[in-house]
Amino acid sequence: MTPTPLDRLARATPPSMARRVRGLSDRTIAWLFVAPTIALLLAINIFPLIWTVRLSFTNFAANKPNAEVKWVGLRNYERILTDDGIWATMQTTAHFLFWTLFFQVLIGFTLAWLINRKFKGNDLLTTLIVLPMMLSPAVVGNFWTFLYQPQIGLVNYMVELLTGTPASSFSMLGPGGLAPWSIVIVDTWMWTPFVMLICLAGLRSIPDYIYEAAEIDRASKWRQFWTITIPMVLPFLMLAVLFRGIENFKMFDMVTLLTGGGPGNETLLTSIDLKREAFEKWRTGYSSAYAIILFVTVFGLASIYVKALNKVKER
């Protein structure tokens, strides 16, 4: 079985070779090697995080360095948790998360399953399919606005070609309710290969003898699929969903370039909203509280999910 990060965390420390050799002691070397990394992370991750917590209890505004900073207690948190606008962005984010995961799992798994038919050239096609996910989301997102242009865009043209709906009669990024789906399409285009690769690894990890045994038991292909393939791939699939879930919860670059949160607030994901609060309105204290709430949310959801993942793997 393939180890996951958690497996490896749990794995017992390998037997030590701790014995004195010439030169520095192992202990010194261990610290010398690990310390710079920890120091860097403390300086650029942990110290700022603590600072953010502190700021979240103030009315500090980064664009008014001369103004007096006041403690406001929990008021920022109160304002955020009672703000309808923020709940709306959470819903938008949930919509985006759910549908991107849904399509990526569906298409990604199907592709992996097809590629696992081991036809000639499957390696080449796999490499080509993977290309979009390695590219800069900002640059790609920006270019998709061109593909989504009404009139001259490729997407509208294709729709006209295939369905006869006139290309200028709808706007993928404009009002009319299509924009939330447009961002799902681009994300699915980009990240389906990710799910596909992981599923493929899962499918390839299933030893042939299990199927052979099932054949002997005269289990139908359909039954084999549901009783062997799916359960064996499930841990892999769940891992893929974890990664994609965290990444899409953080989503900023691609959607900013595509819609900037518009039209109206139809695609205003939390990260984009946070950017507006923090770097356009400069409500630093308020947005610090917002950031903390987001961090706690993603951390909490991820922990619950990881527990579920471990349960599935134990079976």
Is 264 one of the binding residues for another protein (CB under 8 A)? yes
- C-alpha angle 91/93/97, rounded to 5°? 115
Q: Provide the mask over 2-21, with x wherever binding to another protein is found by CB under 8 A and - wherever it is not.
A: xxxx--xxx--xx-xxx--x
Which listed residue (32, 81, 304, 308) binds another protein by CB under 8 A? 32
Q: What is the 3-state secondary structure (H, E, C) of 68-128?
A: CCCECCCHHHHHHHCCHHHHHHHHHHHHHHHHHHHHHHHHHHHHHHHHCCCCCCHHHHHHH
Shortest distance, CB of residue 238 to another protein, whole angstroms?
Answer: 11
- φ, ψ for residue 103 (rounded to 5)? -70, -40
Rounded to an integer, what distance in angstroms lies between the CA atom of residue 203 and that of residue 199?
6
Interaction with another protein in 157-176: which residues (CB under 8 A)?
Answer: 157, 167-169, 171, 173-175
Rounded to an integer, what distance in angstroms lies between the CA atom of residue 141 and that of residue 57?
36
Residue 89 contacts by C-beta under 8 Å, 6 or more apart in sequence? Answer: 265, 268, 269, 270, 272, 273
Interaction with another protein in 100-139: which residues (CB under 8 A)?
Answer: 107, 111, 114-115, 117-123, 125-139
- φ, ψ for residue 58 (rounded to 5)? -120, 175
Give just the sign of the alpha carbon dihedral 164, 169, 173, 175.
negative
Shortest distance, CB of residue 162 to another protein, whole angstroms?
Answer: 12
Shortest distance, CB of residue 275 to another protein, whole angstroms?
Answer: 5
Interaction with another protein in 34-93: which residues (CB under 8 A)?
Answer: 34, 36-38, 40-41, 43-45, 47-49, 51-52, 55, 59, 62-66
Is 150 one of the binding residues for another protein (CB under 8 A)? yes
Q: Provide the mask over 179-208, with x wherever binding to another protein is found by CB under 8 A and - wherever it is not.
A: ----------x--xxx--xx--x--xx-xx
Rounded to an integer, what distance in angstroms lies between the CA atom of residue 10 and that of residue 205?
22
Per rule CB under 8 A, count of chain residues that contact another protein: 141
Is 231 one of the binding residues for another protein (CB under 8 A)? no
Shortest distance, CB of residue 75 to another protein, whole angstroms?
Answer: 11
Shortest distance, CB of residue 67 to another protein, whole angstroms?
Answer: 9
